[in-house]
């Protein structure tokens, strides 16, 4: 979905969209948006500046960090995103000396007089995803030797039982020469 900036009423408008199956890819091979994800909010325009506010309610499918079992993660985010036209950025970089007022990391730029809500959705959902995803706190992960899921079956590799967190660290350690 896109918002056409030149058609926005200056008083503000509301928007809402529900994503269907496979409508939006998150551009991450491991994380998928499940159908029914919703974005809604308001768009306000002042000159060429646009402020998008709203909320996202979505569910994504992503693998457990340790055992790769797929999990369904609910995501609820509220956003308040200021936008400026991309030309402003181009002009500012072309003509040295012009600086954007208060460099704002949260500021986004829109090209071609329209704001891509899908892009906003992608960013917000991936940002809201927890950095650590576990199917359960004590997930035992996969055997580093044979790949068996240690939550369901003990494998015959005969290694000592170690906390999977330490196993992961051990795997990262450079081999002693």
Stretch of 14-22, 37-45, 119-127, 138-146 lying at the interface with Zn ion (CB under 5 A): 138-146
Rounded Cα gap, residues 79 and 54, in angstroms: 6
Nearest to 62 by CA among 133, 6, 131: 133
Rounded Cα gap, residues 17 and 54, in angstroms: 11
| CA quadruple 27, 104, 106, 15: dihedral sign | negative
Stretch of 38-46, 50-58, 146-154, 160-168 lying at the interface with Zn ion (CB under 5 A): 146-154
Nearest to 144 by CA among 134, 131, 133, 155: 155
Stretch of 17-25, 62-70, 78-86, 168-176 lying at the interface with Zn ion (CB under 5 A): 62-70
Measured from the CB of residue 126, what is the shortest distance to Zn ion in angstroms? 20
Measured from the CB of residue 160, what is the shortest distance to Zn ion in angstroms? 12
Q: How many residues bind Zn ion (CB under 5 A)?
A: 11
Contact positions toward Zn ion, by CB under 5 A?
64, 66-67, 135, 139, 143, 145-146, 148, 155, 157
């Amino acid at each position: 979905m896109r918002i056409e900036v030149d058609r926005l009423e200056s008083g503000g408008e509301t928007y809402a969209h529900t994503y269907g199956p496979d409508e939006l890819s998150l551009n991450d091979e491991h994380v998928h948006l499940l159908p029914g994800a919703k974005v809604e909010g308001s768009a306000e325009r002042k000159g060429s500046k646009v402020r998008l506010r709203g909320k996202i309610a979505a569910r994504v499918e992503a693998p457990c960090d340790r055992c790769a079992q797929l999990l369904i993660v609910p995501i609820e985010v509220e956003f308040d995103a200021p936008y400026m036209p991309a030309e402003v950025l181009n002009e500012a970089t072309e003509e040295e000396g012009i600086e954007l007022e208060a460099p704002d990391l949260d500021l986004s730029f829109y090209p071609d007089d329209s704001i891509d809500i899908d892009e906003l959705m992608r960013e917000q959902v991936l940002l809201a995803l927890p950095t650590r995803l576990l199917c359960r706190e004590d997930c035992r992960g996969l055997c580093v030797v044979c790949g068996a899921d240690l939550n369901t079956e003990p494998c015959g590799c005969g290694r000592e039982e170690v906390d999977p967190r330490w196993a992961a660290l051990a795997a990262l350690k450079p081999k002693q020469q």
